[in-house]
Structure 1
Amino acid sequence: MNFSAWNVRGLWGDGKLRMVKDLKKKYSLNMLGLIETKRQVVTNFDVARIWGRDDLGWEYVSSDGASGGLLLIWDESVFKMNEKCHVWEELSYIAGLCQVPCCFMGDFNEIVHVEERKGATTVPRSGKEFRNWIQDMQLVDLALTDCDFTWFRGRSCSHIDRALVNVEWLEVFPETWLRGGQGNCQIIAP
């Protein structure tokens, strides 16, 4: 994660806004804190000029006349991902407490390979983190046997529903497989 704080000594004029925007772009910032904005009001339009219209969050503290003022802008996708990481940590804790066959099944709302989303060219950062979690937990992501995707909306489709099992599960249920379809997934453990 990349972040920066800068005493901008006034966030006025196109030149200063362009400098801040260039800083964000040059360093691929996920969070930016601007100090001494000297602005009593900051609007969505102001923030969009700095950050772009991507998935963002922001808060500000207004200046006191011509002194002070804070503006904090962040990439929502990075911080939402951290909420997901918390869920994955909780699942890790639960699995660690009981050394029994485990199966985590559901809509994880993540792809882990580019071919799991129609038209995708990259795996998002949160998907890479999810893939790392699967590997760290030594889970097996059961392959779909009858289709490529589990979620459909119009022309969009993705493989975001999955069943993740541990080795203990496969020792007890070695013939487990996953069947998918529009709007549902079924784990088959004969």
Structure 2
Amino acid sequence: MNCLFWNIRGIEKGEKILPIRTLVEKKKVLFMGLVETKHKRSVRNRMKRMWGNDDYDICEVYESETNEGGVIAVWDKQTFVSSIKHMGSRWILIEGCMKKNNFECCVGVIYGHNDRMGIRAMFEELKQRVVSINKPILLLGDFNVTLHEGERTGPFRCDRSMNDFSEWITDLRLLDLPLQGLKFTWRRNESKSRLDRALCCHTWLSSFPHLRL
């Protein structure tokens, strides 16, 4: 199942529709997560133009009162049949079943806070929910924090947030998928970081041994 994750920095304007649809069609995307959408009302009626057909399901979290955030998860409902949708202020977890191999699992879309306290609170909230779901899980996201020292260049560092992230991944027994091609996923002037990643459990990787990011 090909998945697309994109920090889109606003989806309300119409110029984002064509690039989304182009990627969905080119990569044969069956699950898509969009973050930093900054949308205040549902995009359900417009999603057919982005997705290319109406054979999809969708889950949305709107932007906050401070005009930031927004998360959307969309998937092909003939490939992945959802059973339960969980939502937080900056995350979505979808429990369901991949019909092709009858694989019961959970797929998540994450958009991390840009401050340590916000990140820690989100990690704790997600940890409790993931443990309660107790299914093989794949998390796609802009976590807004690096995991290793070599994932950031520039003047800013936050070793405590990095340690929090590492401990959270360890506690949930998740694997950090290696990033193919690019080393960094965010850049501003001379500062570069890898803020976007995919995390999964051992069961997910053993079921899909050719999984690549």
Q: Normalising to structure 2: TM-score of the pair?
A: 0.43
Q: Which has the higher strand share?
A: 2
Q: Which has the higher helix share?
A: 1
Q: Normalising to structure 1: TM-score of the pair?
A: 0.48
**In terms of Rg, which structure is larger?**
1
